[in-house]
Amino acid sequence: MKTATCLRSAGLLFLVVGASLTPSRAQDPELSLDRNRVMVAARFSFNITADLRNLRTPVPSPLQYDDGIVQSDISGNAGGKTWNWGYQNANQVTERGSLALHYTAGSPFDGTSASLNADLGAGFELAYGRELGHIRLSRNRSLTWGLQAGFGSLSINLHNDSTMAGMVDRVAHEYDLNGVVVPAAPYAGSFAGPGPLLSTNYTIVTTNLAATSSQEVKLESLVLGFKLGPFVEWPLYKRLSLQAGAGLAAVDVLTQLRWNESLVLADPSITTSPRTGDYDHSEWVLGYYANAALAYALNDSLSLFVGAQYQGLGDVSVAGGGKEATLHLGHDVEIIAGIRASF
């Protein structure tokens, strides 16, 4: 009887001592073995803007006329003449014995500026964090801190559609025919020839006409970048915690500027060729980021989080064909939401 009682007492003592020596995450977060954390998040941007400057429309080179061509032939325009030329209408042959080819210089948009409207930007982010330490807040609560690195992408689409009226220059290049018999319109020579030779020298005649222009501009950007910085996590209530981080950001901004413009002149007998442009640009930009999110623990390993992120980056510009678009990344505000695994 006494022996059984002693054995029961010894067993109870062993359980009590063993329990007191067993690590408990619920009682002491500092004993946690989950030093690593991997996060996957979706990103949605709301505050990226861009400006468009309409510069003076440059003269196309080589010249692209609305109603004909004069280009180099297989001889390289030997003797200042080419058979690689053409025209569209009989009235382009003038009474002065010349051939008039036309283009419209400038645009009602020249010298103006506009804002590009942004669609919702979306992307993703992958991050790895390493817990480096704990700061005890109370007996059962500790603040966790560490270092985090991540990679992410963000797709940005901005656009502007507008119409403007104004004055434009209608330019005629008059090529002296020097007695050349012009084939009936429409006529188009070739690079290899042969054909009637046209002198490449011309005189310029300019008239000023009223016009209405419709312009569509699209700026599409893919932002690929890295970030590195410290993070902290505060336990708030039971499974709820607040996590925050800040640090350096480096992004590669891949930008494409596309635009087209159509002109309608006051003289309905004159038609103009649509103007288009497609320009690419890539640039690395350095800056910083800061974020904060509420996390809810599903269990000891998985947590869901939602929050906000701010990125302070520089501007990126892309230009071509008389257009210059500047993408402003200095005040990028994002919503982030995702899942975190700890191990």
Establish if 309 belongs to a structural domain. yes
What's the confidence (pLDDT) of residue 26?
38
User: Using CA atoms, how far apart are residues 281 and 142, in angstroms rounded to an integer?
Assistant: 48
Does residue 232 form part of some domain? yes
Answer whether residue 15 is part of any domain. Answer: no
pLDDT tens readout for residues 74-98: 999 999 999 999 999 999 999 889 9
- Give me the half-sphere count of Cα atoms (radius 13 Å) on the Cβ side of residue 3: 0
Say how many Å lie between the first and final Cα of the chain, rounded.
Answer: 49
User: How many domains does one find in the chain?
Assistant: 1
* Residue 16 falls inside a structural domain: no
Tell me the helix, strand and coil percentages in the chain, rounded to 5: 10, 65, 30
> What is the rounded CA–CA span in Å between residue 145 and residue 147?
7
Low-confidence ranges of the chain (pLDDT < 50): 1-32
The token pair that represents 94 in the structure block: 């003038």
Q: Say if 9 falls within a structural domain.
A: no
User: Which has the closest alpha carbon to 305: 317, 294, 319?
Assistant: 294
Strand-strand pairing, 49-54 and 332-342: unpaired
Residue 296 lies in a domain: yes
Q: Which residue has the tokens 């413009």?
A: 261
pLDDT at 270: 87
**CA–CA separation, 219 and 264 (whole Å):** 25
Other Cβ atoms closer than 10 A to 32: 15
Return phi, psi of residue 301, to 5°: -115, -30
pLDDT at 1: 40
CA 219 → CA 3, 57, 151, distances in Å?
87, 19, 23
At 239, list the tokens: 């499974």
Structural domain contains residue 2: no
Taking only Cα atoms into account, the Rg of the chain, rounded to an integer number of angstroms, comes to 35
Mapping DSSP to helix (H, G, I), strand (E, B) and coil, where does residue 204 land?
A: strand
Tokens of 178: 């020097």
Q: What is the pLDDT of residue 16?
A: 35
Give a yes or no: residue 54 inside a domain: yes
Per-residue model confidence (pLDDT) at position 155? 96
Look up the domain containing 217 and give its range. Answer: 21-342
Spatial contact of 263 and 223, defined as CB atoms under 8 Å apart? no
β partners of residue 144: 134, 233
| Token output for 203 | 């005189």
* pLDDT, tens digit (0-9, with 9 covering 90-100), for 101-130: 999 888 999 999 999 988 889 999 999 999
Question: Which amino acid does the sequence have at 67?
Answer: D
- State the pLDDT at residue 60: 66
Please give the structure tokens belonging to residue 51.
């400006």
Q: Can you name the residues that pair with 49 across neighbouring β-strands? A: 328
CA geometry: angle 32, 34, 39, nearest 5 deg: 140
